Amino acid sequence: MSLGTSKGMVADATKQLIDAWKLARRDWDDDTARWFESEFLEPIGPKVRSAIAAMDKLAAMTARAERECG
């Protein structure tokens, strides 16, 4: 599996999670839901962006190595 494919899968899974959470929040609106969101879901965005940035860097390094090493 390529890094580009993996990156797309991470982005798609994150979008699916956010969409599912929005749907759940329609019926679940209490202190526990707010706690769950702040503890588990809000930290995901920055972590996913960081992981995708790392994948981009790794893809660039891999492409460079392939060019230089044949």
Please state, in angstroms and rounded to a whole number, the distance separating the CA atoms of residues 1 and 44.
Answer: 23
Q: Where are the beta strands (DSSP E) in the chain?
A: none
Is 70 a residue whose pLDDT tops 80?
A: no
Could you read off the pLDDT of 22-47 as tens digits, one per residue?
999 999 999 999 999 999 999 999 99
Residue matched to tokens 């609106």: 29
The closest alpha carbon to 7, from 50, 42, 63, belongs to: 50
Q: Sorting pLDDT into bands at 50, 70 and 90, what band is 9?
A: very high
What confidence score (pLDDT) does residue 1 get? 79
Domain boundaries, the chain: 3-69
- Give the helix, strand, coil percentages of the chain, each rounded to 5: 90, 0, 10
Backbone angles phi, psi at 43, to 5 degrees: -70, -15
How much is the average pLDDT of 60-64?
94
pTM of the model: 0.81
